[in-house]
Amino acid sequence: MNHRFFEERLFADEPLPPEEQLLLEEHLQSCDRCRALRAAWQETQIELRLAQWVAPRQGFSQRWREHYLHRNAQAQQRRALLVFLINSFLAAVFALPFYLLVAFPSQPLWMRLVIALYNLSALIPLVDGISTFVVTVFRALAEVVTPAMQISLGVAFMGVTIIWLAMLRKFSFGRLGTQ
**Could you state, in order of their start, the residue ranges of all structural domains in the chain?**
4-50, 123-179
pLDDT of residue 103: 62
pLDDT at 153 over 80: no
Spatial contact of 10 and 41, defined as CB atoms under 8 Å apart: yes
pLDDT of residue 67: 94
Q: Per mean pLDDT, which range of 36-40, 104-108, 141-145 is the poorest?
A: 104-108
Spatial distance between the Cα atoms of 85 and 110, rounded to a whole number of angstroms:
28
CB within 8 Å of 169: residues ≥ 6 apart? none
Spatial distance between the Cα atoms of 89 and 162, rounded to a whole number of angstroms:
33
Spatial distance between the Cα atoms of 1 and 32, rounded to a whole number of angstroms:
12
pTM higher than 0.85, yes or no?
Answer: no
pLDDT of residue 179: 46
Q: In angstroms, what CA-CA distances link 166 with 103, 159, 160, 173?
A: 30, 11, 10, 11
pLDDT in tens, 54-107: 888 898 889 999 999 999 989 888 888 888 888 888 777 776 766 666 566 666
Question: 140-174 burial, b for 16+ CB within 10 Å, e for fewer?
Answer: eeeeeeeeeeeeeeeeeeeeeeeeeeeeeeeeeee
Instruction: Return the closest-CA partner of residue 61 out of 73, 53, 69.
Output: 69
